[in-house]
Amino acid sequence: MSDSLNIAGKSYQSRLLVGTGKYQDFKQTRAAIDASGAEIVTVAIRRTNIGQTAGEPSLLDFLPPDQFTYLPNTAGCYSADDAVRTLRLARELLDGHTLVKLEVLGDPNTLYPNMIETIAAAKVLVKDGFDVMVYCSDDPIMAKQLEDIGCCAVMPLASLIGSGMGILNPWNLQIIIANANIPVLVDAGVGTASDAAIAMELGCQGVLMNTAIAAARDPIQMAGAMKKAVEAGREAYLAGRMAKKLYSASPSSPTTGLIS
Amino acid sequence: MQLTINGKARDFAVTQLTVAELVLQLSLEGKRLAIERNGEIVPRSQFANTLLAAGDQLEIVGAVGGG
């Protein structure tokens, strides 16, 4: 059975997308990503350290761009202009690569997205030929507008970045999913495997996470748990869950043939 | 020639410098990076024939871990 995640014309077997930040070292980063089975990995774009980099290994040495699909992000950007500028640099850095994660933050404490700036940046980037996966609030109207602009995926937060609070508003997510004609992925807020499973059971096309894996006591084991959770949640969604009932008066064992 | 690189002023004892030569001087050759000069990206294919001017503002970036 082929059940692939399709984003911007490319299909992926894994529905788990992972970040590459907050790990002990590159070796652990690679081991966790291998355990997660992720094919798409996010990276940040930052000023190169000048003067102390000779011979120093880089993230790209551990995650060769020909083995993974890079998803450069705009983490740390608070304006549309900065986000667009960052992703244009990323495109140059990655030899014309157009798949990107747009996030424009509104506040350094909550890291909640600034949707006005996000929408402004999305318009520029789509026009400029980028395939934009966009981190957004879980507001169904915003998600629809981002789709109408031409983003290739919307990625509403489950809860705040790095909070591990899980899915706080499954109802909004369901509305976004029901109205979307592009993939909806949960990005941010997943804390443990059950959160990822719930996101997938709701009908998300995928889940993007970083801290839930990197900040686990054993990141590599957690990466494996997330892989299974995303797969299980997806299968449960496809299988179609039974209806919830307060009680059913319908036991699973035969009601006849009882001894007397 | 003084250039501002990643927000820091740096002096180079030359009168002429291309972006490719700058990359060598900073020991960044072979590294995957992108360069913005005065707000405009310099494509890698243009490093060798892009002459820098005193006072240029350069951003040199690479990919790092992030979520």
pLDDT digits (tens, 9 = 90+) for A20-51: 999 999 999 999 999 999 999 999 999 998 87
- What is the rounded CA–CA span in Å between residue A42 and residue A30? 13
CB contact at 8 A, A105 and A76: yes
Q: Establish whether A101 is a catalytic residue.
A: yes
| pLDDT in the model for residue A49 | 87
| pLDDT in the model for residue A52 | 66
pLDDT digits (tens, 9 = 90+) for B6-57: 999 999 999 999 999 999 999 998 889 999 999 999 999 999 999 999 999 9
Give chain A's residues under pLDDT 50.
none
User: Quick check: A93 and B63 CB within 8 A?
Assistant: yes
From residue A137, give the alpha-carbon distance in Å to each of A224, B14, B46: 28, 51, 40
From residue A81, give the alpha-carbon distance in Å to each of A78, A111, A125, B7: 9, 18, 10, 18
- What is the rounded CA–CA span in Å between residue B67 and residue B62? 15
Question: Which residue of chain A has the CA closest to B66?
Answer: A21
- Using only C-alpha atoms, chain A has a radius of gyration, in whole angstroms, of 20
* pTM for the predicted model, two decimal places: 0.93
Q: Nearest CA to CA, how far is B22 from chain A (Å)?
A: 12
Single-letter residue type at A83: A
Q: Of these residues, A101, A123, A127, A244, which one is catalytic?
A: A101
Please state the ipTM of this predicted complex.
0.94
CB contact at 8 A, A23 and A29: yes
| pLDDT in the model for residue A53 | 56
Question: Which residue of chain B has the CA closest to A63?
Answer: B65
- What is the rounded CA–CA span in Å between residue A31 and residue A25? 10
| pLDDT in the model for residue A56 | 77
pLDDT digits (tens, 9 = 90+) for A185-226: 999 999 999 999 999 999 999 999 999 999 999 999 999 999
Show which of residues 3-22 on chain B sit within 8 Å of chain A, judged by CB atoms.
5-8
